[in-house]
Amino acid sequence: MLTFTEELVLLLNDEDGAPLPIRQDIVACALAGAVLMDLAFAYRIDTDLEALFVNDPTPTGKPTLDRILERIAARTEVCDAKMWIGTLSVEEAPSIHEQTLASLVESGILTVQESRLPWIRFRRYPSSDGKTAKELRQHVADVLTSDEIPDPRDVALISLLDACEILPDIFPRQEIEDFRPRIALLRKMDLIGREVAGAIAEIERSIIQAVRARAAQFKKLLLILSIAAGVAAFATLVAPRFPVADRFSALYFERLWFDGSWQLWSGFALLGLSGAGVLAVLLLKLRAIARLGGFNWWRLAHVGFGIACVLALFAHTGFRLGTSLNAALMGCFLAVLVLGGLAGVCTNAAGQLRKWGIKPKQRVIPIRVHIVALVPLPALLIIHIIAVYLY
Amino acid sequence: MARKSILHVCWVLATLAAIGAVTVWMTVGGDREVLLIGATTDAHHQFELACESCHTAAVFASRKAALKGLNKACRNCHEDDLKDAEDSHPRKKFRNPRMSVYWEPLDGRSCTTCHVEHRPEITRKGAVTVAMDFCEACHGEGDQDVRTDRPTHAGLTFDTCASSGCHNYHDNRALYADFLVKHADQPWLAAAPVHALAALHRSQKPLEETALGREDALAPAAALADETALDHWAGSGHAAAGVNCAGCHAPEVASGAPLAEIEAGWTDVAPLTACRDCHKQEAKTFALGRHGMRQHPEIARPRDASATVLDAVLPEGVTEWLSDAPYPVLMTVKEARIPMRADAAHESLDCGACHQPHAVDVEHAAVEACMSCHADPHTQAYVGSPHHELWQAELAGDAEPGSGVSCATCHMFKVERRGTIFTSHHQNDGLRPNEKMIRPVCLHCHGLGFAIDALADEDLAAGNFRGQPAVHVESIDWAVQHETSGVPNDER
């Protein structure tokens, strides 16, 4: 029988064996929680009001679980489940993931496929028999759709996935919305044996707290940066032109905006930053590189590139909007940046916006307009570059 | 294919199509107004869509080559002017490697260092696109620091070099120190204030034996039916000089040809080439000034797509459609960037705009023609000004030829070339900066000190020189002071 950790790792990959686009910190929390649940179901650990402690230090026979069990047993200070989730998710999650994948490969459930790009190595773990992962996903879906009383392990696994908010990454979002009443019911049902129920509940609570804390931390940062990007872009639109010095000895800024060679460099910097911003989003969408630093970092990079674009735009134009095609390009660029900032606000302040009565459908509008505004940008940008080189 | 994929493909195709279309537009033909990155300077705006006039470098040339091409284009049109102006800062001076120390602060080898097009925000007086205290770049320190050996210049700021009426970067013909000293003691008005070349020009009369009368007019009957035109011609300089109707209306027909041939080659509207064939100098200088700049030979012709490789690959008629529309040959009043009369907006500037087609009245062209279009304060203040009174006195025969001052006296002054005196139609030759007018115009009647002061007094100039200047430019005083101190004036 597969452990929670193994089932979770199987569910974290898509059918081709590539990692699903799930935030890395959440995956780390889920892995830490899965290991603790495995140990709880094996009666090796338990919790009380203050601490998570070892019941039985006997090895389980699973190297990953035993290593963690040893570590918990070796700890002399009193630590609760929340602290262990935090510690394991930061210090042990990558090795848990690697070891579990290796174990699944060893047991013949997964195979390894490697592909290389010039600088990046991709590794995929497709199912060797084409069945196990598929059947597991189908089994979870069956539990969520049927009215039958499920196995306690299934309830624990679903609770873990729900606590980590990764069910929408595994199943289509619409289906999850349909599953919601059933998930709520399963979590209310007292199906897990009394011996481990307390520990599992405590682990779940700890995971929820950890996931929310980390998400809140990043959301706050992303929100601040999104507001900064949007406001800076809007300021570029409405701010008066940076004045031109009327003294020859103070021509630094004037050269920045009116000297062709300076403009060339700032223009290419702007082009590079814009490309990097788009690339960051494409990397977010590409599952194969989901493990390159985690999704939050790519989102952060995307917003960071947006802010850098506003700065480069200032260096390139000095708040000058240009004329004709240049004005169209500037308008398009600023629209993308302002709407990007707004989209960032809508994404990262969803809770607050929900309180203000703004519905999810309304919250995605800025994201969609942000993308639509991007449509003419490549053409305008390339035309601008061609015109500069032609004239 | 998924909907999203179809949209992506459409997006890529539309982007490529837009880039391709605009690239063809930029390189083959089509109105490029939308591609202008900023308003062109005054005068250049007349041919701003003939981009190849200035952008002469090959497609995707290096920046260095592009700049070289731009600078060559500047010289193509302005080099003769700079030679005539005895340019104080000629390019050849800065090409000397010993001057390399000055290339970094202000590279005098390139026109585009100080004059960049399409930058209205930084375009100052004289189409200068660097701060007006640019003299500091070279004369602010070291051997060239003008303040070290000239006590008169101590404490002066560099923004006053050109704005005070003392110096110009290029044309200092009337402002260099030796010239100032030489003309230091001139009275404000000469004892016999006459423009010598104008007087000589007006004294030239056509030969009487070649003069034609009303009865000599040879033209199709329909043309001869226009009695007014016939009367005008009979009293014109053309008739006096023996130029019959066919000279302008059938310029291709040989002189003395019979009426039948004249009728065959007749055109009701005389072509500009007919004027140019006889008035070569006037036509040449007309194309140098703002009135006729669009006929300047260095202005690029419209692009002809049928002359490119596209003609072989595109269906018939497409390359004609892609080609540039003909560029306007004539400047129109409504396109001017200085105040003009609204009722003249429809006028275009061919020879007939100032010279009535048949009367060819140069007196009309010298004043009334100007005033029929220009509406700036200087023009509007002309009538009743001292210059106007002198002009009227000359026309009335109460004053000697050349003593009157019309608009043309100052702005289309007489020039002598190889023994021939003609009217320069380069109306901008004495402007921007207006000190260029001092030697060919002002000094014929006025002293140098008065002329410098008067031209530096913007209010006086706007009021068409009614009264004495309220501004005093100290350049003559300082040059004399410097001379008497024993140090030679080597400024020029």
Per domain, the residue ranges of chain A are 4-210, 217-390
List the one residue out of B108, B185, B182 whose CA is nearest residue B139: B108
Confidence of residue B369 (pLDDT cuts 50, 70, 90): very high
Residues of chain B contacting residue A390, judged by C-beta atoms under 8 Å apart: 26-27, 55, 59-60
Please tell me which of the candidates A258, A260, A324 has its beta carbon nearest to residue B34: A324
Give the phi and the psi of residue A74 in degrees, each rounded to 5.
-75, -15
Side chain identity at residue A159, one-letter code: S
Residue A244 pLDDT exceeds 70: yes
Confidence of residue B44 (pLDDT cuts 50, 70, 90): very high
Q: Do A323 and B132 touch (CB under 8 A)?
A: no
Residue A304 pLDDT exceeds 80: yes
Residues of chain B contacting residue A326, judged by C-beta atoms under 8 Å apart: 37
What CATH superfamily classification does A4-210 receive? yeast vps74-n-term truncation variant domain like (1.10.3630.10)
Residues of chain A contacting residue B121, judged by C-beta atoms under 8 Å apart: 241, 244, 320
Q: Does B413 touch chain A (CB under 8 A)?
A: no
Q: Do A386 and B22 touch (CB under 8 A)?
A: yes
List the one residue out of A388, A389, A261 whose CA is nearest residue B59: A389
- Mutate: best of B10, B13, B37, B133, partner A, most A CBs <10 A: B37
- Mutate: best of A323, A324, A391, partner B, most B CBs <10 A: A391
C-alpha triplet A248, B56, A328: angle, nearest 5°: 70
Three-class SS of residue B340?
A: strand
Question: d(Cα B343, Cα B461) in Å, to the nearest integer?
Answer: 25
Which pLDDT value is given to residue A177? Answer: 75
Residues 6+ apart with CB under 8 A from A13: A19, A20, A124, A125, A133
Question: d(Cα B95, Cα B90) in Å, to the nearest integer?
Answer: 9
Confidence of residue A119 (pLDDT cuts 50, 70, 90): low
Q: Distance, in angstroms, between A110 CA and closest chain B CA? A: 30
Q: Could you give the percent of chain B with pLDDT greater than 90?
A: 55
Please tell me which of the candidates A247, A322, A382 has its beta carbon nearest to residue B133: A247
Please tell me which of the candidates B37, B59, B158 has its beta carbon nearest to residue A323: B37
Give the phi and the psi of residue B446 in degrees, each rounded to 5.
-115, 160
Q: Does A325 touch chain B (CB under 8 A)?
A: yes
C-alpha triplet A301, A306, A307: angle, nearest 5°: 100
Question: d(Cα B337, Cα B290) in Å, to the nearest integer?
Answer: 11
Q: Distance, in angstroms, between B316 CA and closest chain A CA? A: 27
Highest mean pLDDT of the ranges A120-134, A245-259, A295-309, B86-100: B86-100
Q: Do A258 and B137 touch (CB under 8 A)?
A: no
Residues 6+ apart with CB under 8 A from B488: none
Which pLDDT value is given to residue B70? Answer: 95
Distances (CA, A) of A381 to A274, A333, B22: 10, 9, 12
Residue whose token pair is 């000279």: B247
Q: Does B209 touch chain A (CB under 8 A)?
A: no
Kindly provide the b/e burial profile for residues B396-434, where b requires at least 16 CB atoms within 10 angstroms of the residue's own CB: eeebeebbbbbbbbbbbbbbeeeeebbbbbbbbbbbebb
Count, residues in chain A: 391
DSSP H/E element including B234: helix B227-234
Residues 6+ apart with CB under 8 A from A277: A302, A305, A306, A309
**Are A337 and A222 within 8 A, CB to CB?**
no
C-alpha triplet B448, B475, B451: angle, nearest 5°: 25
Residue B345 pLDDT exceeds 90: yes
Side chain identity at residue B212, one-letter code: L
Please tell me which of the candidates B36, B131, B132 has its beta carbon nearest to residue A323: B36
Which pLDDT value is given to residue B492? Answer: 45
Side chain identity at residue B291, one-letter code: H
Please tell me which of the candidates A248, A383, A389 has its beta carbon nearest to residue B19: A383
Question: d(Cα A218, Cα A299) in Å, to the nearest integer?
Answer: 10
The reply to whether ipTM tops 0.90 is no
Q: Does B62 touch chain A (CB under 8 A)?
A: no
**Are A390 and A335 within 8 A, CB to CB?**
no
CA trace torsion A212, A216, A217, A221 (10° rounding): 160
User: Which residues face A52 on adjacent strands?
Assistant: A47
Residue whose token pair is 């609570």: A205
Which pLDDT value is given to residue A193? Answer: 60
Q: Does B102 touch chain A (CB under 8 A)?
A: no
Structure tokens that stand for B173 in this block: 């013909």
Residues 6+ apart with CB under 8 A from B220: B259, B262, B263, B266
Q: Does B11 touch chain A (CB under 8 A)?
A: yes
CB atoms within 10 A of CB B220: 17
Give the phi and the psi of residue B116 in degrees, each rounded to 5.
-115, 135
Confidence of residue B93 (pLDDT cuts 50, 70, 90): very high
Please tell me which of the candidates A241, A250, A379 has its beta carbon nearest to residue B18: A379
Residue A261 pLDDT exceeds 60: yes
C-alpha atoms less than 13 angstroms from C-alpha of A40 in its C-beta half-sphere: 30
**Are A310 and A270 within 8 A, CB to CB?**
no
Handedness of CA B408, B410, B414, B417 (dihedral sign): negative
Residue A288 pLDDT exceeds 60: no
Which pLDDT value is given to residue B167? Answer: 93
Confidence of residue A195 (pLDDT cuts 50, 70, 90): low
Residue B172 pLDDT exceeds 80: yes
By CA distance, what is A389's nearest residue in B? B60
Q: Distance, in angstroms, between B38 CA and closest chain A CA? A: 6
List the one residue out of A14, A7, A57, A61 whose CA is nearest residue A34: A7
Question: d(Cα B415, Cα B281) in Å, to the nearest integer?
Answer: 10
Three-class SS of residue B96?
A: coil
| A48-68 mean pLDDT | 89
Q: Distance, in angstroms, between A251 CA and closest chain B CA? A: 8
Which pLDDT value is given to residue B490? Answer: 54
List the one residue out of B245, B206, B223, B236 whose CA is nearest residue B359: B236
Q: Distance, in angstroms, between B11 CA and closest chain A CA? A: 7
List the one residue out of A312, A365, A368, A373 whose CA is nearest residue A337: A373
Q: Could you give the percent of chain A with pLDDT greater than 70?
A: 91
Kindly provide the b/e burial profile for residues B199-212, where b requires at least 16 CB atoms within 10 angstroms of the residue's own CB: bebbeeeeeeeeeb
Peptide bond between residue B433 and the one before it cis (omega within 30 degrees of 0): yes
Better pLDDT: B451 or A166: B451
By CA distance, what is A247's nearest residue in B? B131
Residue whose token pair is 């002293």: B447
Highest mean pLDDT of the ranges A282-286, B201-205, B293-297: B293-297
pLDDT tens digits, A354-363: 888 888 788 8
Secondary structure in 3-state letters for chain A: CCCHHHHHHHHCECCCCCECCCCHHHHHHHHHHHHHHHHHHCCCEEECCCCEEECCCCCCCCHHHHHHHHHHHHCCCCCCHHHHHHHHHHHCHHHHHHHHHHHHHHCCCECCEEEECCCCEEEECCECCCCHHHHHHHHHHHHHHCCCCCCHHHHHHHHHHHHCCCHHHHCCHHHHHHHHHHHHHHHHCCCCCHHHHHHHHHHHHHHHHHHHHHHHHHHHHHHHHHHHHHHHHHHHHHCCCCCCCCCHHHCHHHHHHHCHHHHHHHHHHHHHHHHHHHHHHHHHHCHHHCCCCCHHHHHHHHHHHHHHHHHHHHHHHCCCCCCHHHHHHHHHHHHHHHHHHHHHHHHHCHHHHHHCCCCHHHHCHHHHHHHHHHCCHHHHHHHHHHHHHHC
Q: Does A252 touch chain B (CB under 8 A)?
A: no
Residue whose token pair is 């307390």: A198
Question: d(Cα B438, Cα B455) in Å, to the nearest integer?
Answer: 9
Residues of chain A contacting residue B158, judged by C-beta atoms under 8 Å apart: 248
pLDDT tens digits, B95-152: 999 889 888 889 999 999 999 999 998 999 899 999 999 999 999 888 888 888 788 8
CA trace torsion A78, A82, A84, A86 (10° rounding): -130
Distances (CA, A) of B302 to A329, B21, B283, B307, B349: 28, 19, 22, 12, 20
Residue whose token pair is 């009394």: A194
C-alpha atoms less than 13 angstroms from C-alpha of B213 in its C-beta half-sphere: 3
Q: Does B37 touch chain A (CB under 8 A)?
A: yes
pLDDT tens digits, A322-332: 888 999 999 99
Please tell me which of the candidates A251, A376, A391 has its beta carbon nearest to residue B131: A251
What integer best gives the mean pLDDT of chain B? 90
Which pLDDT value is given to residue A202? Answer: 78
**Are B492 and B176 within 8 A, CB to CB?**
yes
Q: Distance, in angstroms, between B17 CA and closest chain A CA? A: 9
B316 CB-contact burial (10 Å; exposed 0-12 / middle 13-18 / buried 19+): exposed
| B337-366 mean pLDDT | 89
Confidence of residue B488 (pLDDT cuts 50, 70, 90): low
CB atoms within 10 A of CB B103: 15
Question: d(Cα B171, Cα B89) in Å, to the nearest integer?
Answer: 9
Please tell me which of the candidates A254, A261, A378 has its beta carbon nearest to residue B63: A261
Residues 6+ apart with CB under 8 A from B67: A260, B110, B112
Residue B318 pLDDT exceeds 80: yes
Q: Between helices B3-27 and A377-390, what is the axis angle to 10°? A: 20
Structure tokens that stand for A22 in this block: 């799930």
Structure tokens that stand for B235 in this block: 């009293």
Residues of chain A contacting residue B134, judged by C-beta atoms under 8 Å apart: 248
Indicate the range of A187-191, A265-269, B435-439 predicted with least confidence.
A187-191
**Are B41 and B117 within 8 A, CB to CB?**
yes
Better pLDDT: B50 or A209: B50
